[in-house]
Structure 1
């Protein structure tokens, strides 16, 4: 009889544990990106993860994988489409292989300030129409985070396009960026971000281009000390969710995760803009040579980029340029 009672007690306890486990069960979601631990992208991802837990009453937990642990940007987006990961955040142009029109977000010198860029990404009718096509491609944009304006770090001085001749510069896989850099005068080398530091150090490439926050967090200035603020492309980083993941969420959870994404985006935008001046100063203290060149020769050099874009995308180019011009006029940069 004692044995029967013991078995009964064990079964009751086991059932209790099962109920307790079920009540506390979480769905774990994967968030993969390529930035370093100290970058604003990683900090934003951690804030997003915290807010997702808060707004879903801990029913969802977001595990963040930084530093290309699960793949570079193209691989992350491929995994997003396949449902292998749930979130990634990357330059708008990184999504262009899946949504070709997003190459136009990489047109050179569209904006002169963060506020202009934010206005475009928040209000552009053209961009909204492109983003609305994303779910059919396997992912969905939740909010636009910030990376900043792309500039160049090189081993040698870069005062004008003449200094680019015969030099090879690393960039990410994007058609518009390749055209732009070729028109400036560089040879273009595509390679994953984690390989760039060593490639510059070993002389495989003469430098690279990225936003200041990325240059700083990856310490590219150590091996390519000439930091030239060309600001040739405004390069925010939309946060995307796998469409397969999205369709599994209840409407309530979709709303909660979108809210978390937007609030993290607001924080991220402010952080990147706020940190830029200090990051440049810190790099200068460590030996970087910060250069703000006359941009007119660079702007002139990339005029063929616009012509190539118009030949391929036609009226879409005119739409983007018209919206950008209107925003620049409405939000002029104070001299």
Structure 2
């Protein structure tokens, strides 16, 4: 049976109100309002550690006025379901890949353009300071979702059932993707047939041979144990894929200015933790998966960059000037860093 988080154990008395979807209050003094945070990582992943820190800091900063229950492994729904629930005010918080929010703001598909950034530091600066990106995040509020901070997941790479060292190895095979135009187009540019499957169902889909494999950041690959069923880890690092942490706008508008500051501080502290954990753990995670029998493949990226470059022209036909706008922010950031 899946372990329930520490926060949930501490709040079993609130189960009735939780299941009804409404706020619950502490039995001691009706002071603590209980909020819900759902994500699809497992307890061993960096996303869950960030979520637990966020919950801890919210309780501390608000002096117990708010308590956050953390649900891992998609206990309250997969990523699209969680985003929909946040938008509708049925869930208070979630964190998911930026491209997942394209269901609310289609332009956010562009954050999954291949090789948009080349390092964690460049990616952090882009997400922290890009005028174009902050404009897109700002649009989400009208859809019921408030961007609060950006947590980390890392660069996406493949895990496959059979070795892949060049794009030609993908021909005629099916690859799991999440619902995102850029990711689908990237798979097609390599030669895969993209198949949309919720992340909580991917392990079984690979195990049963429905797809050749999947692509995700290294931390997610290990946390969800995809290397057990697709043992070839192919380090293409084709998309930088951090995690916008969002709140329900229905909740956010009811908070005082001081409370919004407190929640924002907690979310940013969690972001700092997740960035450090993910960056520092990449090689350790690869080594651990290698010891468990996975084979790490470091292909020549030139061939992958070449076939994926066509995705940019395809994107411009749909998104027009927004492609150059995000490129400008990514490149100006890179130049400012002396790269």
Q: Distance in 1 between matches of 2:265 and 2:309?
A: 40
Counterpart of 2:212 (choices 206, 210, 221) is 206
Q: Distance in 2 between matches of 1:114 and 1:211?
A: 12
Q: Which residue of 1 aligns with 2:331?
A: 325
Q: Which residue of 2 aligns with 1:299?
A: 305
Q: Distance in 2 between matches of 1:77 and 1:173?
A: 13
Q: Distance in 1 between matches of 2:282 and 2:338?
A: 20
Counterpart of 1:59 (choices 37, 60, 65) is 65
Q: Distance in 2 between matches of 1:22 and 1:115?
A: 45
Q: Which residue of 2 aligns with 1:174?
A: 180
Cα-to-partner distance string for 1:261-308 (whole Å, 9 max, x where unaligned): 001101110011111110000011111111111111111111221111
RMSD across aligned C-alpha pairs, in angstroms? 1.3
Q: Distance in 1 between matches of 2:192 and 2:261?
A: 45
TM-score by length of 1: 0.92
Q: Which residue of 1 aligns with 2:117?
A: 111
Q: Which residue of 1 aligns with 2:271?
A: 265
Q: Distance in 2 between matches of 1:220 and 1:243?
A: 34
- Whether 1:29 aligns to 2:12 is no
Q: Distance in 2 between matches of 1:210 and 1:239?
A: 18
Q: Which residue of 1 aligns with 2:201?
A: 195
Q: Distance in 2 between matches of 1:296 and 1:219?
A: 28
Counterpart of 2:257 (choices 235, 251, 259) is 251
Q: Which residue of 2 aligns with 1:6?
A: none
Find the residue that maps to 1:208 and give its secondary structure.
strand
Q: Which residue of 1 aligns with 2:5?
A: none
Give the C-alpha shift of residue 21 in structure 1.
Answer: 5.7
Q: Which residue of 1 aligns with 2:53?
A: 47
Q: Which residue of 1 aligns with 2:92?
A: 86
Q: Distance in 1 between matches of 2:291 and 2:27?
A: 53
Cα-to-partner distance string for 1:229-278 (whole Å, 9 max, x where unaligned): 10010000010000001011111111100110001101110011111110
Give the C-alpha shift of residue 328 in structure 1.
Answer: 2.7
Q: Distance in 2 between matches of 1:170 and 1:129?
A: 30
Q: Distance in 2 between matches of 1:295 and 1:284?
A: 21
Kindly tell me: are residues 332 and 188 of structure 1, through their superposed partners in 2, closer, same or farther at Cα, counting changes over 3 Å?
Answer: farther
- Whether 1:163 aligns to 2:169 is yes
Give the C-alpha shift of residue 72 in structure 1.
Answer: 0.5
Q: Which residue of 2 aligns with 1:15?
A: none
Q: Distance in 2 between matches of 1:169 and 1:329?
A: 35
Q: Distance in 2 between matches of 1:261 and 1:302?
A: 34
Give the C-alpha shift of residue 332 in structure 1.
Answer: 5.7
Cα-to-partner distance string for 1:139-172 (whole Å, 9 max, x where unaligned): 1100000000000000111111100001111111
Counterpart of 2:148 (choices 142, 145, 148) is 142
The structure that has the greater radius of gyration is: 1
